[in-house]
Amino acid sequence: MPEEGSSACVAGIIPARWGSSRFPGKPLHSLAGKPLLQHVHDRARECRGLDLVLVATDDPRIRDAAEAFGAEVAMTSPDHPSGTDRIAEAVASRPEVTHIINIQGDEPLIDPLLVDSLATTLVSDPDCGMITAACPLGDGDQFDDPNVVKVVRDCAGHALYFSRSGIPFPRSRPAGLQPLRHLGIYGYRRDLLERFVAWPPGILEQAEQLEQLRALERGVKIHVIITNHQSIGLDTPEQVPKVEALLAAQSPP
């Protein structure tokens, strides 16, 4: 929570839509006895750095289910091209919100401590307009996998570039070289988020199909926190058994 006397108000927003091309209705798919979205919401509610947790959706089925398990819901337009646009609308009517954490709605194993770390850094550093996270990249096959987004940082911890290609290219292997996998969680200062969604997609964003490059192309510094947490998302129905096993392994005996 923000310190006493602080005017900061941090909202955790979980965008959720029904129409996933690979997994329609994914937010309400049952995992270990409750909807995927509820798992994410429960994790977000554990975060000490969030003052508010909202589900942002355009679908009444998701709204009704979320309200049934106690979530606060913001209904948004069905025409948003991305979750970022959806969270921007969700906070438009909440003038008290100063900072926003975009929590992916398909990651039931999201670490509350990671969310808190993002929120704390975002609020405490007035020069930080945007923040995200990365973890050390695992096996060598991931380095060349275009579905695994990589990031490189400067010495101050700001992103130099994000890519679906393997970066940095290991022409040599200096001591300490560690490729990083980008994790799809973002934090924004409110004014930066409002500017971000007003900007048109840039050339690099269109080429890589990575929305965060829009910010880099505009000169925004994106702070990248390093974590050992490797977020696991649910992308297809075939992954359900694996994710349920991971949930069971984390459950108290």
* Count of structural domains, the chain: 1
Q: For residue 203, tell me if it sits in a domain.
A: yes
Per residue in 43-61, pLDDT (tens digit) is 999 999 999 999 999 999 9
Q: For residue 140, tell me if it sits in a domain.
A: yes
Residue bearing the bigger pLDDT, 234 or 114: 114
The range of the structural domain enclosing residue 223 comes to: 10-248
Reduced to 3 states (helix: H, G, I; strand: E, B; else coil), residue 117 is: helix
Per residue in 137-179, pLDDT (tens digit) is 976 678 999 989 999 999 999 999 999 999 999 889 888 888 9
Distance between CA atoms of residues 38 and 29, nearest Å = 10
Distance between CA atoms of residues 210 and 161, nearest Å = 11
- Give yes or no for residue 204 having a pLDDT over 70: yes
CB 104 within 8 A of CB 195: no
Per residue in 4-13, pLDDT (tens digit) is 446 899 999 9
CB 141 within 8 A of CB 38: no
CATH number of the domain that 132 lies in? 3.90.550.10
- Give yes or no for residue 3 having a pLDDT over 70: no
Cβ neighbours for 60, distance < 8 A, ≥ 6 positions apart: none
- The rounded mean pLDDT for the chain is 91
Q: For residue 63, tell me if it sits in a domain.
A: yes
Per residue in 12-40, pLDDT (tens digit) is 999 999 877 678 889 999 998 899 999 99
With 0-12 / 13-18 / 19 or more C-beta atoms within 10 angstroms meaning exposed / middle / buried, residue 208 is middle
Q: How confident is the model at residue 124 (pLDDT cuts 50, 70, 90)?
A: very high
Q: For residue 80, tell me if it sits in a domain.
A: yes
Its pTM stands at 0.92
- Give yes or no for residue 2 having a pLDDT over 60: no
Q: How confident is the model at residue 223 (pLDDT cuts 50, 70, 90)?
A: very high
Q: For residue 228, tell me if it sits in a domain.
A: yes
101-106 average pLDDT score: 94
228-250 average pLDDT score: 83
Q: For residue 45, tell me if it sits in a domain.
A: yes
Q: For residue 77, tell me if it sits in a domain.
A: yes
83-87 average pLDDT score: 94
- Give yes or no for residue 251 having a pLDDT over 70: no
Q: For residue 60, tell me if it sits in a domain.
A: yes
Model pLDDT, residue 85: 94
Q: Using alpha carbons only, what angle is made at residue 50 by residues 47 and 56, rounded to the nearest 5 degrees?
A: 105
Q: Give Cα 182 to chain centroid, integer Å.
A: 10
